[in-house]
Protein backbone atom coordinates (compact mmCIF):
# COMPACT_ATOMS: atom_id res chain seq x y z
CA UNK A 1 0.00 0.00 0.00
CA UNK A 2 1.25 3.48 -0.91
CA UNK A 3 -0.19 6.53 0.87
CA UNK A 4 0.02 9.99 -0.70
CA UNK A 5 -0.73 12.77 1.82
CA UNK A 6 -1.78 16.14 0.46
CA UNK A 7 -2.12 19.26 2.58
CA UNK A 8 -5.06 20.32 0.43
CA UNK A 9 -6.78 19.27 -2.78
CA UNK A 10 -10.06 19.79 -4.63
CA UNK A 11 -11.31 16.22 -4.23
CA UNK A 12 -9.24 13.13 -3.44
CA UNK A 13 -11.33 11.14 -5.95
CA UNK A 14 -10.67 13.67 -8.70
CA UNK A 15 -6.96 13.85 -7.81
CA UNK A 16 -6.61 10.07 -7.83
CA UNK A 17 -8.47 9.72 -11.14
CA UNK A 18 -6.06 12.26 -12.71
CA UNK A 19 -3.10 10.34 -11.29
CA UNK A 20 -4.32 7.01 -12.68
CA UNK A 21 -4.48 8.55 -16.15
CA UNK A 22 -1.05 10.19 -15.93
CA UNK A 23 1.04 7.46 -14.28
CA UNK A 24 1.35 3.72 -13.85
CA UNK A 25 -0.10 3.71 -10.36
CA UNK A 26 0.55 0.80 -7.99
CA UNK A 27 -2.55 -1.08 -6.87
CA UNK A 28 -3.87 0.01 -3.46
CA UNK A 29 -2.54 3.57 -3.72
CA UNK A 30 -4.32 5.84 -1.24
CA UNK A 31 -4.69 9.61 -1.52
CA UNK A 32 -5.48 11.41 1.73
CA UNK A 33 -6.00 15.07 2.45
CA UNK A 34 -6.57 17.09 5.60
CA UNK A 35 -8.30 19.78 3.64
CA UNK A 36 -10.67 18.87 0.84
CA UNK A 37 -11.86 22.00 -0.90
CA UNK A 38 -14.48 20.68 -3.27
CA UNK A 39 -15.55 17.24 -2.06
CA UNK A 40 -17.90 15.28 -4.29
CA UNK A 41 -20.79 13.13 -3.08
CA UNK A 42 -23.30 10.80 -4.68
CA UNK A 43 -25.78 11.99 -7.29
CA UNK A 44 -23.69 15.06 -8.10
CA UNK A 45 -23.98 16.42 -4.55
CA UNK A 46 -21.08 18.02 -2.70
CA UNK A 47 -19.38 16.67 0.41
CA UNK A 48 -18.44 19.11 3.15
CA UNK A 49 -15.64 18.39 5.58
CA UNK A 50 -13.75 20.49 8.07
CA UNK A 51 -9.97 20.78 7.88
CA UNK A 52 -8.25 18.57 10.42
CA UNK A 53 -11.50 17.22 11.90
CA UNK A 54 -12.66 14.69 9.38
CA UNK A 55 -11.23 11.97 7.18
CA UNK A 56 -11.28 12.36 3.42
CA UNK A 57 -9.39 9.87 1.30
CA UNK A 58 -9.61 7.75 -1.83
CA UNK A 59 -8.30 4.32 -2.69
CA UNK A 60 -7.17 3.00 -6.08
CA UNK A 61 -8.01 -0.69 -6.34
CA UNK A 62 -7.65 -3.01 -9.32
CA UNK A 63 -9.92 -6.04 -9.72
CA UNK A 64 -9.44 -9.24 -11.68
CA UNK A 65 -12.78 -10.98 -11.38
CA UNK A 66 -15.61 -8.57 -10.62
CA UNK A 67 -18.26 -8.70 -13.36
CA UNK A 68 -19.95 -5.43 -14.29
CA UNK A 69 -23.39 -6.70 -13.31
CA UNK A 70 -22.01 -7.62 -9.88
CA UNK A 71 -20.18 -4.32 -9.27
CA UNK A 72 -22.46 -3.48 -6.36
CA UNK A 73 -20.39 -6.07 -4.51
CA UNK A 74 -17.56 -3.51 -4.26
CA UNK A 75 -19.89 -0.99 -2.68
CA UNK A 76 -21.23 -3.57 -0.22
CA UNK A 77 -17.72 -4.75 0.72
CA UNK A 78 -16.52 -1.18 1.35
CA UNK A 79 -19.57 -0.14 3.40
CA UNK A 80 -19.27 -3.30 5.48
CA UNK A 81 -15.57 -2.65 6.05
CA UNK A 82 -16.24 0.87 7.30
CA UNK A 83 -19.07 -0.38 9.53
CA UNK A 84 -16.79 -3.05 10.93
CA UNK A 85 -14.03 -0.53 11.66
CA UNK A 86 -16.50 1.81 13.37
CA UNK A 87 -17.97 -0.99 15.46
CA UNK A 88 -14.46 -1.94 16.56
CA UNK A 89 -14.05 1.68 17.76
CA UNK A 90 -17.29 1.30 19.77
CA UNK A 91 -19.37 3.68 17.68
CA UNK A 92 -22.98 2.98 18.70
CA UNK A 93 -25.71 1.50 16.50
CA UNK A 94 -23.81 1.46 13.19
CA UNK A 95 -25.88 0.67 10.10
CA UNK A 96 -25.76 1.14 6.35
CA UNK A 97 -28.42 3.23 4.70
CA UNK A 98 -28.87 2.02 1.14
CA UNK A 99 -26.83 2.17 -0.93
CA UNK A 100 -23.83 3.16 1.14
CA UNK A 101 -24.37 5.86 3.75
CA UNK A 102 -22.80 4.97 7.05
CA UNK A 103 -25.03 5.78 10.00
CA UNK A 104 -24.65 5.83 13.76
CA UNK A 105 -27.87 6.11 15.74
CA UNK A 106 -29.82 6.90 12.55
CA UNK A 107 -27.53 9.81 11.62
CA UNK A 108 -25.06 9.95 8.76
CA UNK A 109 -21.43 9.92 9.86
CA UNK A 110 -19.83 8.65 6.67
CA UNK A 111 -20.26 8.58 2.91
CA UNK A 112 -18.72 6.63 0.05
CA UNK A 113 -18.28 7.63 -3.59
CA UNK A 114 -17.14 4.76 -5.82
CA UNK A 115 -16.16 5.43 -9.42
CA UNK A 116 -15.59 2.25 -11.42
CA UNK A 117 -13.66 1.98 -14.68
CA UNK A 118 -14.88 -0.90 -16.83
CA UNK A 119 -13.17 -3.06 -19.45
CA UNK A 120 -15.15 -5.63 -21.42
CA UNK A 121 -17.47 -7.37 -18.98
CA UNK A 122 -15.28 -6.65 -15.95
CA UNK A 123 -14.55 -3.83 -13.53
CA UNK A 124 -10.90 -2.96 -14.24
CA UNK A 125 -10.40 -0.69 -11.27
CA UNK A 126 -12.25 1.49 -8.78
CA UNK A 127 -11.56 4.83 -7.21
CA UNK A 128 -13.16 4.47 -3.80
CA UNK A 129 -13.68 7.76 -1.97
CA UNK A 130 -14.45 7.71 1.73
CA UNK A 131 -15.52 10.63 3.87
CA UNK A 132 -15.94 10.20 7.63
CA UNK A 133 -17.16 12.82 10.08
CA UNK A 134 -14.80 12.19 12.95
CA UNK A 135 -14.40 15.13 15.34
CA UNK A 136 -16.74 17.79 13.93
CA UNK A 137 -19.46 18.94 16.29
CA UNK A 138 -21.30 21.43 14.16
CA UNK A 139 -23.42 20.58 11.10
CA UNK A 140 -25.36 23.71 10.19
CA UNK A 141 -28.40 22.95 8.01
CA UNK A 142 -27.69 19.21 8.03
CA UNK A 143 -30.05 17.82 10.71
CA UNK A 144 -29.41 14.22 9.68
CA UNK A 145 -25.62 14.48 9.92
CA UNK A 146 -23.49 13.61 12.90
CA UNK A 147 -19.95 12.60 13.77
CA UNK A 148 -18.12 9.93 15.71
CA UNK A 149 -17.42 12.52 18.41
CA UNK A 150 -21.05 13.62 18.72
CA UNK A 151 -22.21 10.02 18.94
CA UNK A 152 -19.68 8.97 21.58
CA UNK A 153 -18.49 12.11 23.40
CA UNK A 154 -14.93 11.03 22.59
CA UNK A 155 -12.29 12.78 20.48
CA UNK A 156 -10.56 10.45 18.02
CA UNK A 157 -7.05 10.35 16.63
CA UNK A 158 -7.66 10.83 12.91
CA UNK A 159 -4.70 8.69 11.94
CA UNK A 160 -5.84 5.80 14.10
CA UNK A 161 -9.29 5.81 12.51
CA UNK A 162 -7.72 6.16 9.05
CA UNK A 163 -5.52 3.08 9.49
CA UNK A 164 -8.28 0.95 11.07
CA UNK A 165 -10.58 1.69 8.15
CA UNK A 166 -7.86 1.10 5.53
CA UNK A 167 -6.86 -2.23 7.03
CA UNK A 168 -10.40 -3.62 6.95
CA UNK A 169 -11.23 -2.16 3.53
CA UNK A 170 -8.16 -3.82 1.98
CA UNK A 171 -8.92 -7.08 3.79
CA UNK A 172 -12.51 -7.06 2.44
CA UNK A 173 -11.44 -6.22 -1.10
CA UNK A 174 -8.65 -8.78 -1.31
CA UNK A 175 -9.36 -11.28 -4.10
CA UNK A 176 -12.98 -10.18 -4.33
CA UNK A 177 -14.75 -12.59 -6.64
CA UNK A 178 -18.16 -13.71 -7.62
CA UNK A 179 -18.00 -16.60 -5.15
CA UNK A 180 -18.25 -14.07 -2.33
CA UNK A 181 -21.33 -12.34 -3.67
CA UNK A 182 -24.04 -14.25 -1.79
CA UNK A 183 -22.22 -14.08 1.52
CA UNK A 184 -21.41 -10.36 1.21
CA UNK A 185 -24.99 -9.57 0.19
CA UNK A 186 -26.36 -11.46 3.21
CA UNK A 187 -24.09 -9.61 5.65
CA UNK A 188 -24.85 -6.29 3.94
CA UNK A 189 -28.59 -6.92 4.26
CA UNK A 190 -28.14 -7.77 7.96
CA UNK A 191 -26.58 -4.33 8.42
CA UNK A 192 -29.14 -2.45 6.33
CA UNK A 193 -30.84 0.52 8.00
CA UNK A 194 -34.60 0.02 8.57
CA UNK A 195 -34.66 -3.46 7.06
CA UNK A 196 -38.08 -5.05 7.66
CA UNK A 197 -39.46 -1.76 9.00
CA UNK A 198 -42.09 0.44 7.38
CA UNK A 199 -40.42 3.50 5.89
CA UNK A 200 -41.56 6.49 3.89
CA UNK A 201 -40.12 6.93 0.39
CA UNK A 202 -40.28 9.82 -2.03
CA UNK A 203 -40.15 9.67 -5.82
CA UNK A 204 -38.36 12.37 -7.88
CA UNK A 205 -41.87 13.64 -8.75
CA UNK A 206 -42.45 14.34 -5.05
CA UNK A 207 -44.87 11.45 -4.38
CA UNK A 208 -44.63 9.76 -1.01
CA UNK A 209 -45.39 6.11 -0.36
CA UNK A 210 -44.90 3.59 2.44
CA UNK A 211 -42.93 0.40 2.05
CA UNK A 212 -40.90 -2.20 3.87
CA UNK A 213 -37.24 -2.65 2.92
CA UNK A 214 -36.64 -6.34 2.22
CA UNK A 215 -33.05 -6.22 0.93
CA UNK A 216 -31.19 -5.51 -2.31
CA UNK A 217 -31.19 -7.14 -5.73
CA UNK A 218 -28.06 -8.55 -7.39
CA UNK A 219 -27.46 -5.26 -9.19
CA UNK A 220 -27.90 -3.29 -5.98
CA UNK A 221 -31.45 -2.03 -6.45
CA UNK A 222 -33.42 -1.56 -3.23
CA UNK A 223 -36.17 -4.16 -2.76
CA UNK A 224 -39.24 -2.63 -1.17
CA UNK A 225 -42.54 -4.31 -0.39
CA UNK A 226 -45.14 -1.69 -1.14
CA UNK A 227 -48.61 -1.39 0.40
CA UNK A 228 -50.25 -3.48 -2.31
CA UNK A 229 -47.98 -6.37 -1.27
CA UNK A 230 -45.77 -6.16 -4.38
CA UNK A 231 -41.98 -6.40 -4.19
CA UNK A 232 -40.63 -3.48 -6.16
CA UNK A 233 -37.06 -2.64 -7.16
CA UNK A 234 -35.73 0.91 -7.06
CA UNK A 235 -32.51 2.37 -8.40
CA UNK A 236 -30.76 5.26 -6.66
CA UNK A 237 -32.30 7.96 -8.86
CA UNK A 238 -35.80 6.49 -8.56
CA UNK A 239 -36.41 6.83 -4.87
CA UNK A 240 -35.32 8.69 -1.76
CA UNK A 241 -35.94 7.41 1.73
CA UNK A 242 -37.64 10.05 3.85
CA UNK A 243 -37.77 7.71 6.89
Classify 50 as helix, strand or coil.
coil
DSSP string covering 83-149, please? HHHHHHTT-SSEEEETTTEEEETTEEEEEEEEEEEEETTEEEEEEEEEEEE-S----TT-TTB--HH
Q: From the list 39, 99, 215, 220, which residue makes contact with ligand BTN (rule: CB under 6 A)?
A: 39
Check binding of 220 to ligand BTN (CB under 6 A).
Answer: no
Check binding of 112 to ligand BTN (CB under 6 A).
Answer: yes
Nearer Cβ to ligand BTN, position 114 or 181?
A: 114
Residue 39 C-beta: closest distance to ligand BTN, Å:
4
Check binding of 42 to ligand BTN (CB under 6 A).
Answer: yes
Residues in the chain: 243
Residue 35 C-beta: closest distance to ligand BTN, Å:
12
Residue 185 C-beta: closest distance to ligand BTN, Å:
21
Q: From the list 29, 34, 53, 56, which residue makes contact with ligand BTN (rule: CB under 6 A)?
A: 56
Which ranges of the chain does DSSP label H, i.e. alpha helix? 12-22, 72-88, 148-152, 158-173, 181-190
Question: By CB under 6 A, how many residues form the interface with ligand BTN?
Answer: 20
Check binding of 101 to ligand BTN (CB under 6 A).
Answer: yes
Check binding of 45 to ligand BTN (CB under 6 A).
Answer: yes
Residue 65 C-beta: closest distance to ligand BTN, Å:
25
Check binding of 11 to ligand BTN (CB under 6 A).
Answer: yes
Between the alpha carbon of residue 139 and those of residues 101, 143, 162, the distances in Å are: 16, 7, 21
Check binding of 58 to ligand BTN (CB under 6 A).
Answer: yes
Alpha carbons 25 and 230: distance in angstroms, whole number:
47
Sign of CA dihedral 135, 184, 100, 211: negative
Exposed / middle / buried, residue 217 (Cβ in 10 Å: 0-12, 13-18, 19+):
middle
β-bridge mates for residue 224, sequence order:
213, 232
Nearer Cβ to ligand BTN, position 96 or 181?
A: 96
Nearer Cβ to ligand BTN, position 181 or 191?
A: 191
Check binding of 211 to ligand BTN (CB under 6 A).
Answer: no
Instruction: Name the closest residue to ligand BTN (Cβ).
Output: 111
Interface region with ligand BTN, contact rule CB under 6 A, candidates 128-136, 140-148, 159-167, 221-229: 128-136
Q: Quote the Cα angle for 143-113-77, to 5°.
A: 105
Q: Which residues bind ligand BTN (CB under 6 A)?
A: 11-13, 36, 39-42, 45, 47, 56-58, 101, 111-113, 129-131
Amino acid sequence: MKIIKLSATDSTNTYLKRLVKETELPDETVVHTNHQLSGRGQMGNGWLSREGQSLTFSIFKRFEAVEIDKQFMISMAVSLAISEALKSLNIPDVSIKWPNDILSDNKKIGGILIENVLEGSLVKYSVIGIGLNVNETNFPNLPQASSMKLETGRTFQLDEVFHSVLEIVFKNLQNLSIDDFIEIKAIYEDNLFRKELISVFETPQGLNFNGIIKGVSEIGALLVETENGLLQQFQLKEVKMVY
